[in-house]
Amino acid sequence: MKVAQALPWVAPIWQRLSKQLAEERLGHAILLLGQEGIGKRVLLREFSQRLLCLKSDGQGPCAECASCRLYDAGSHPDLLMVEPEEAGKQIKIEQIRQVTGFVNTTPQRSTNKVVLLGPAEAMNVSSSNALLKSLEEPSGHVTLLLYSHQPSSLLATIKSRCQQYTVNPPNWTEGLNWLGQNSQEASLESLLRLAKGAPLKALALIEQEVHVQYMQFCQDLMDLANSAAGWSAVLAKWKTWDAGVIMGWFYELTLDVQKTQAGVAVEQLSVQELSHQSAKVAANVQYAQLQGFLDKLLQSQLAFKGQANPNPVLLIETLLIDWLALLRQSRQ
């Protein structure tokens, strides 16, 4: 119940899960859907403890029994966490094979066993197919808890075998107020916008100092466009950052161009700090050229997330060249 109190916008989902558990209507596989950074994983973490707790009052884990102590120590033998070994990478088929072995054994310390897996879209086709056996032939004492930030990327066969719940983000005011209560950082509106209204993601950006990098990214693009910065110096700086995050910023910037062409107000743009560049490109670049840039960007993101291990610096350098080319064309 702590998560429902700390993150009030997830309380309805917690209550529904708890009610189904109390009425013995909880499915063997639960799938939470929603954007990244709104608390799906946090909710499932506490709910997994609730499932393993030996003395729950029906509302949440007791935090005192032997099972809860093992859980808090991170050593509960009846809980299996399955997540990418590196952020942004895939869940490997070897990890899913561990799930198969785990669900076919009896609980050691609790009356249940729990698998917490996510983000589910990090599984490729082989991993997803390997998981299907556990979803199709569930053991009575096993509950699989899955979460996904991109449900459209999941196999239909995975989704159809789960009870699905959509977790909605807080409204803008609620999210901004929550962020203000949990951080002393300035520019909270910019942070929340960068996190697409997801408060936990905004908080993570602060903790990882990604917001500082984002502001520097925007400044560097403005300096490069005005010939006020050196190419090699900018790339030397960027190569120490997460390439996946940088590609995400370019993606949002490209979408801002499309939004501008569609007449969307500046206040609705994601990268408002570069709205001048977005407007220039939007006014002078043809749709086909912009779509070509977006296609290359999406290919770069897929390559980065895949197992081909491309050179991230080369990917970012190519995107930067192409973006500056669009800007130069907009001056002609």
Q: What is the CATH number of the domain that holds 265?
A: 1.20.272
- Whether residues 73 and 127 share a domain: the answer is yes
* Domain stops at, among 166, 194, 226: 166
Omega before 199 within 30 of 0, i.e. cis:
no
Nearest-CA neighbor of 265 among 250, 282, 248? 282
What are 89-117's pLDDT values in tens digits?
899 999 999 999 999 999 999 999 999 99
Domain termination site, one of 166, 201, 220:
166
Q: What letter represents residue 73's amino acid?
A: A
In the prediction, which pLDDT does 331 show?
59
* Mean pLDDT to the nearest integer, 242-253: 93
Q: Is the pLDDT of residue 237 over 90?
A: yes
Q: Are residues 6 and 101 in the same domain?
A: yes
Q: Is 171 exposed, middle or buried (0-12, 13-18, 19+ CB in 10 A)?
A: exposed
Residue 188 confidence (pLDDT):
87
Residue range of the domain that includes 160? 2-166
Q: Please check whether residues 158 and 275 belong to one and the same domain.
A: no
What's the CATH number where 84 sits?
Answer: 3.40.50.300
Q: How many helices (H) and strands (E) does the chain have?
A: 16, 5
Confidence of residue 330 (pLDDT cuts 50, 70, 90): low
Cα pseudo-dihedral 244, 248, 250, 254, rounded to 10: 150
Q: Is the CA virtual torsion 8, 10, 16, 18 positive or negative?
A: negative
At residue 1, does pLDDT exceed 60? no
User: Is the residue at 291 inside a domain?
Assistant: yes
User: Nearest to residue 241, comparing CAs of 320, 321, 323?
Assistant: 320
User: Where does residue 30 fall: left (phi above 0), alpha (psi -120 to 50 degrees), or beta otherwise?
Assistant: beta
Whether residue 21 lies inside any domain: the answer is: yes
Q: What is the CA radius of gyration of the chain?
A: 22
The tally of domains found in the chain comes to 2
249 and 326 part of one domain: yes
Which pTM value belongs to this model?
A: 0.82
Q: Decide: helix, strand or coil at residue 145.
A: strand
Mean pLDDT of the chain: 92
pLDDT digits (tens, 9 = 90+) for 294-315: 999 999 988 887 766 788 899 9
